[in-house]
Homo-oligomer: A and B are copies of this chain.
Amino acid sequence: MSLAHTILATLGDESYSGYDLWKKFSQTSKYYWQASQQQIYRELGKLEKEGAISSEIIPQEGRPDKKLYRITEKGIEILKNWLVEPAEPMAIREELLVKVIAAKLVPKSVILQEIERHRQIHAQQLSVYKEIEQEKFPDVSQLSYEKKCFYLTLRCGIRYESYRIAWCEEAIALLGED
């Protein structure tokens, strides 16, 4: 359900084409919702049919035409109604943990290397987020309400990666000892 709401929330600030939305989802929206290009195009089609968004074709030279989407009054109403309804915490599905549960079937080094690989991926992502934090949010107390909200999603990304790294380190330490 939330892909539609994420798109509506994004279109609430600015108009985007499907392609632009996809890029935005690959970059800044990454720390709260992920979606593929195909999913976004499909969802845009649905939202337009429902009347939550409208589109306008922008002709371009030397490039394919682009379809620029904007949110409608109806779309804003849909968003507002969704915002006041409570949401349940998301279901946890961690493939790495399933591997840890089945770990005894393969040599210990296989699992240890896989955990170490994940630690590195998360450490890499964490450093990207921390750079964004330093560059874009040097003084948090001066932020507007809206900017604070966006900042908090980045903070969640930072905390998420930190939690993953800490767990990987604990796992390597515990399983690595003989």
A interface residues, Cβ below 8 angstroms from B:
2, 5-6, 8-10, 12, 30-34, 76, 79-80, 83-84, 86-106, 108, 110-111, 114, 117-118, 121-122, 140, 145-146, 148-153, 155-157, 159-160, 162-164, 166-167, 170-171, 174-175
Q: Smallest CB-CB separation from A102: which chain B residue? A: B9
Q: How far is the CA of A140 from the CA of B173 in the complex (A)?
A: 12
Q: Which chain B residues border A163 with CB–CB below 8 Å?
A: 159-160, 162-163
A33 touches B98 (CB 8 A): yes
Knowing A33-B94, A156-B94, say if A9 contacts B101 (CB, 8 Å): yes
* Total copies of this chain within the assembly: 2
B114 touches A31 (CB 8 A): no
Knowing A87-B95, A93-B2, A155-B170, say if A175 contacts B145 (CB, 8 Å): yes
A32 touches B98 (CB 8 A): yes
Q: Which chain B residues border A114 with CB–CB below 8 Å?
A: 86-87
B166 touches A159 (CB 8 A): yes
Q: How far is the CA of A152 from the CA of B170 in the complex (A)?
A: 8
The 5 closest A-B CB pairs, nearest first, are A32-B97, A9-B102, A163-B163, A34-B91, A87-B95
19 A–B contacts, CB within 8 A, in A order: A9-B98, A32-B97, A32-B98, A34-B92, A76-B105, A83-B99, A83-B103, A83-B111, A87-B95, A87-B96, A90-B95, A92-B157, A94-B156, A103-B149, A104-B146, A104-B149, A140-B174, A152-B175, A155-B167
Pick the most buried of A8, A121, A149, A166: most chain B CB atoms within 10 A of its CB: A149
A110 touches B94 (CB 8 A): no
A79 touches B105 (CB 8 A): yes
List 10 additional A-B contacts (Cβ < 8 Å) besides A101-B149, A151-B174, A160-B163.
Answer: A2-B95, A2-B98, A33-B92, A33-B94, A79-B102, A90-B93, A90-B95, A103-B146, A152-B167, A155-B170
